[in-house]
Amino acid sequence: MPASSQVQSQLESAIESNILLGKYRLVRLLGCGSSAKVYEAQNLLAGQNVAIKSFNKYLVAKKDLFNHIKREAAILRRLRHPNIIRIHEVLASRTKIHFVLDLAMGGDLFSRIASFGRLTEHLSRRYFRQLISAVAYGHSHGIFHRDLKLENLLLDENCDLKLCDFGLAAAPDKNPVDGLFHTLCGTPAYVAPEILTQKGYRPAVADIWSCGVVLFALNAGYLPFNDTNIATLYRKIYRGEYRCPKWTSPNLKHLIGRLLDTNPDTRITVNEIFRDPWVAERIEAGEWAAMEILPEDGKVSSKAEELEVEDRELNAFDIIGLASGLDLSGLIGEMVERERFVISEVPEAVLRRVEEIGSGKGLVVKRKGKKGSAGMAVRGQNGDLVVGVEVYRLNRELTVVEVERGGAGKGSEMWAGEFWRTTPPPATFR
């Protein structure tokens, strides 16, 4: 076997044997970022293929990205739109945090254009409608993406657009009173000119500018503002210096001009985009129904308040699920002296099982309790602690369990063996 084929075979074997947390088999690496890798994976229970975005905990801590990751998880859990990537669950190991997401087999639009060139006007219109629909839906819920670009627009198996990567997004609880943001974020070629002034910007209006850059690129096959010198690039953006290619239709050229208006006060709004002749051309009733349009006054709907309320419980879960030292591998790996996990079971059922197993092994079991929690101490005949358990009710469906192990031997056997034989592995963290 040639050396290259042998290396390829070894890589494939390594991937096939890479079972993530006993639930997902990693199939192949789809892409790498500065702090995350994305894999195609198969759910071993459901047989469904998904995408897994894995963050390295060391890099997350080093770059102080924990809040970004937690915010992205919270946002994705609340946004349900056909053109926004869906998150299925958040997992983690001792060294990684994993987002389990929809798998978009078609890759991203940047790669599509880089490989095959510009899109037809008809296809550009289709993807732009889907993009604006997703962006308008997010805005109506108080969510502003702030990093709209071709690389963050994926295609699924039906060639429908899926907006992803909300790591830089702003959520309702972070919106300033005056509505102006001052954080310089986004990708240079897509950033709105008002962001460059550092005098404050409205993120909804800045998102519209980025949508204009995307539309220009879909039609032209290249970006409207591009230069190897960042200062020159920003100067072009600030002045709005671009030129549409000759094949651009008059209606499309007019729309791009409204989108790439350097004055944020006169830039086209989401509602005006939906009514634009080029966007509305040959649109079907089903497409209109899928779009969410903001009120005429442009104010965020009460859904933003709903999102904020819902996030209170979500944040509590995410703090548990994304805590440092998280280990969602159940009890597959090495046991730790103290661990916490979330389980879909009521507290009394957890304690009852511990009591039954402990008593059955001739150990001394004693219940204990304090405000907001209940617990149990399991000791040997000599009085030494074998295992201590405390349970906290998180919500109607989930219970937080904290386990303290006093030693090996019977304690390890009871907890790692007997207890989980009738219970699925939990979401564990230390």
Catalytic entry in 102, 108, 147, 165: 147
Question: Is residue 147 among the annotated active site residues?
Answer: yes
201 and 194 in contact (C-beta within 8 Å)?
A: yes
> 116: buried, middle or exposed (CB in 10 Å: 19+, 13-18, 0-12)?
exposed
Q: Is the dihedral of CA 228, 232, 238, 242 positive or negative?
A: negative
- The CA distance from 74 to 317, in Å, is 10
As a whole number of angstroms, the distance between CA 315 and CA 310 comes to 9
Residue pair 272/294 in contact by the 8 Å Cβ criterion: no
Query: Which amino acid belongs to residue 300?
Result: V
So which residues are the catalytic ones?
147
